[in-house]
Amino acid sequence: MIKLGKKTNISLVQQKNISEEKNQQKNRKTISSAFRPQVVDAKVYKVKSAFVKNSVFITLSYVDTDNGRKPIEIFINSKDLNRAPEYVVLTRLISAIFRRATDPMFILEELHGIHDPNGGSFKGGKYYHSFYAEVAETIEQFFYDVGIIDKDKNLKNDSSDFKAGENDINVNNSLDETINPPISDVINAKFKLCPDCSSKSLKTENGCDMCVECGYSKCDK
């Protein structure tokens, strides 16, 4: 009788362990999948950047959940094999943030905050500090295109801000500024972008470039 009791207790413990392991595996699958179905909708964007040699194709996919539309993953592809590991890291990190974070908007600010050591670049009337800022701009455009960010709300906010300050505009002052621009604008027009700190504070004197912000200097031989 005692031996049978020991065997039954051992079998019960084993059954409990097996059931707990199955439950843990189910929970891991649900967490890792993060509502990722077999087929998802996606958009592909072609990015021509001054920071990389070849064009970059960015694929962004999304899913519809009970809480609204949500980004699920990103893929970054290019012919440039030298930067392939960098693109893989970006793909894995941003996709993990899309799936795990409740509000992935913070990744845009983080990517915009990365500065290229060789300086920034202008494209389409905008200044980008690095290639990562262009990736952030593409992600933000994707959010607008699929409805993750409501464009109408932002337009209303912009229009309300414009109306709030519309009465403060003086026609005579605006005409004077167009004819005689402020001294600060005239001074800033003489400065160029610094390749070190990416600020418009590089001036040329006696054949030498010198940044008044970070102290960068370079003289032509």
Q: For residues 39 and 211, which has the higher predicted lDDT (pLDDT)?
A: 39
The model's pTM is 0.57
Closest CA to 78 of 91, 95, 93: 91
* b (16+ CB within 10 A) / e for 58-69: bebbbbeeeeee
In total, the chain counts a number of residues equal to 221
Whole-angstrom Cα distance, residue 203 to residue 216? 10
**Is residue 68 within a helix (H) or strand (E), and if so which, with residue range?**
strand 68-78
**Is residue 161 within a helix (H) or strand (E), and if so which, with residue range?**
helix 151-164
In Å, the largest CA–CA distance within the chain is 107
CB 216 within 8 A of CB 196: yes
| pLDDT over threshold 90, residue 85 | yes
Q: Which residue has tokens 């300086």?
A: 119
| pLDDT over threshold 70, residue 15 | no
Going across the sheet that includes 217-219, the strands are 192-193, 200-205, 208-211, 217-219
Question: What are the pLDDT digits (tens) for 168-194?
Answer: 444 344 445 444 544 444 444 566 777
* Tokens, residue 189: 């027009």
What integer best gives the mean pLDDT of the chain? 75
| pLDDT over threshold 50, residue 219 | yes
- Count Cα neighbours of 41 within 13 Å in the Cβ-side half-sphere: 10
Question: What are the pLDDT digits (tens) for 111-123?
Answer: 999 999 888 888 8
Whole-angstrom Cα distance, residue 69 to residue 149? 10
**Is residue 112 within a helix (H) or strand (E), and if so which, with residue range?**
helix 106-112
Whole-angstrom Cα distance, residue 29 to residue 74? 20
10 Å CB burial of residue 74 (0-12, 13-18, 19+) is: buried
- Count Cα neighbours of 62 within 13 Å in the Cβ-side half-sphere: 19
